[in-house]
Structure 1
Amino acid sequence: MSNRRGFLRDNSLGLFFLAAFLLALAGQALAGRTEYNNQLEAEQLEPVGFWTYVSSSDFGVDVMENWQSEYLQFFLYIFLTVWLVQRGSPESKSPGREGRESDEEQYAGEHAAADSPRWASAGGTRQWVFSRSLGLVMGTIFVLSWLAQSLAGAAAHNERRLQQLQAPLSWGQYLTSADFWSRTLQNWQSELLAIASMAVLSVYLRQRGSPESKPIGSAHASTGVEG
């Protein structure tokens, strides 16, 4: 029992957000099916069941367009904070420390500690991959989810066009359509605004005990300091 409590405590942040994600996804599916069936009934078409809806392109494109924008946010933030700074933000490195930093600062190669990941002390390709693995994985998930959004979006868009007796679009045509870019950019702009807000507001505002905030007594100009 104590081991289970220890596991839950040590992983509580990830477990909380995973559970919240599943609940939100289920709620989206239920609400989305209701809205979708309302549209079908308004067009005098038969409503669909729950599993039919969650396997549909309409549900898939709604999910994927949110996923790709979230992973774009993380991908950009991970890479851009290597080179760009925001003075006073705990989310930023201190001005003057831009760049990839030395092996000594990164505990890499011959500077790796005894408990460092094995690939941190390796050279060549393994260290190169490991030293960029977080950004590479986030970027890959973004690209794949954006691709999935484009495929599901094209299917959903063509379904509506066929209902209106219009010719379907090819995938390439859909990629240049207003529907695809409207779905994409409405998510991108919100994520980019959220990043900018967090980087700037954390200079002047505090949240006691959070690692995303500076200690409440830290000067506004203090950069890269976590609470």
Structure 2
Amino acid sequence: MSPAQETGGNDQRSPHRARRFLRHNSLGLFFLTTFLLALVGQAVAGHAEFNNQLVSDGMNPVGFGAYVTSSDFAVDVTENWQSEYLQFFLYIFATVWLVQRGSPESKKPEQAGTESDEDQRVGEYARDDSPRWAAHKDWRGLVFSRSLGLVMGLVFVLSWLAQSVTGVAAHNEEQLRRLEAPTTWAHYLSSAEFWSRTLQNWQSELLAVASMAILAIYLRQRGSPESKPVGASHSATGVEG
């Protein structure tokens, strides 16, 4: 086969590979795309709101670039990120031991706990296609077996710290515009403003998780792995559609 023919064959396969990649990764790509669109929308709306506040205070508006690199924009973004990752961090670890009878979001009551090595395919029960660290019983296996929750927890802590740092910076900028004295990071961290912003996000995320775990007992979404099969019993636990 000539190089031209080989190139032509590769060109024909490329669209098929692209379509297959999009199909096999459509869930992640969908949420990443909608995330970026929402972030841009937040930036545009936040910029307009921020400038309206500046004008009402008798100050000059700022450009879009200056706003998206400001502490005001950063604190609004990070305060939502940290609450989302807190939700996943708690859910991942809580569902190891806690169960909800009848919910597809829960394990069966008799499976509560970390489960056996055989069930988890670790150590000597690791298979040929298992991740390499799953076969180790030392620190590598210990870390890998908890890596999802640890990473979610780490991102939560980093986002929470970023929220506190950008929050105190935004707060102090507002204080200076009012010709008032700035505050320290430690003082801001214990302030009502910081915890009001933080807890209003936490409570909404925790309510959403509780609603999903409980409503999925009695309601169905045909074809979704987050739901039980339509005809499954209300008491069926850990069964996905």
Q: Taking structure 2 as the reference length, what is the TM-score of the superposition?
A: 0.93
Match of 1:199 among 163, 188, 213: 213
For residue 111 of structure 2, give the secondary structure of its aligned residue in structure 1: coil
Counterpart CA distance in 2 for 1:218 and 1:113 is: 32
Aligned to 1:153: 167
Q: Structure 1 stretches of 5 or more lacking a match? A: none
Asked whether 1:24 is paired with 2:38, we answer yes
Asked whether 1:169 is paired with 2:174, we answer no
Aligned to 1:9: 23
RMSD: 0.6
Counterpart CA distance in 2 for 1:69 and 1:13 is: 22
Write out aligned runs for 1:69-148 (5 A): 69-148=83-162
Deviations along 1:129-154, one digit per CA (max 9) or x if unpaired, are 10000000000000000000000000
Counterpart CA distance in 1 for 2:137 and 2:167 is: 43
Asked whether 1:225 is paired with 2:239, we answer yes
Structure with the greater alpha carbon radius of gyration: 2
- Aligned-pair distance for 1:14? 0.1
Q: Taking structure 1 as the reference length, what is the TM-score of the superposition?
A: 0.99
Write out aligned runs for 1:25-64 (5 A): 25-64=39-78
- Aligned-pair distance for 1:103? 0.2
1:82 partner letter: V
- Aligned-pair distance for 1:96? 2.1
Counterpart CA distance in 2 for 1:134 and 1:97 is: 19
For residue 96 of structure 1, give the secondary structure of its aligned residue in structure 2: helix
- Aligned-pair distance for 1:186? 0.5
Counterpart CA distance in 2 for 1:102 and 1:32 is: 50
1:95 partner letter: P
- Aligned-pair distance for 1:166? 1.6
Counterpart CA distance in 1 for 2:31 and 2:111 is: 32
1:187 partner letter: N
Range with greater deviation from structure 2 (161-170 or 62-71) = 161-170
Count of residues in Structure 1 that have an aligned counterpart in Structure 2: 227
- Aligned-pair distance for 1:128? 0.3
Aligned to 2:4: none
Counterpart CA distance in 1 for 2:34 and 2:95 is: 28
- Aligned-pair distance for 1:113? 1.2
- Aligned-pair identity in percent equals 70
Give the 4+ runs in structure 1 shifted more than 2 A.
none
For residue 110 of structure 2, give the secondary structure of its aligned residue in structure 1: coil
For residue 182 of structure 2, give the secondary structure of its aligned residue in structure 1: coil
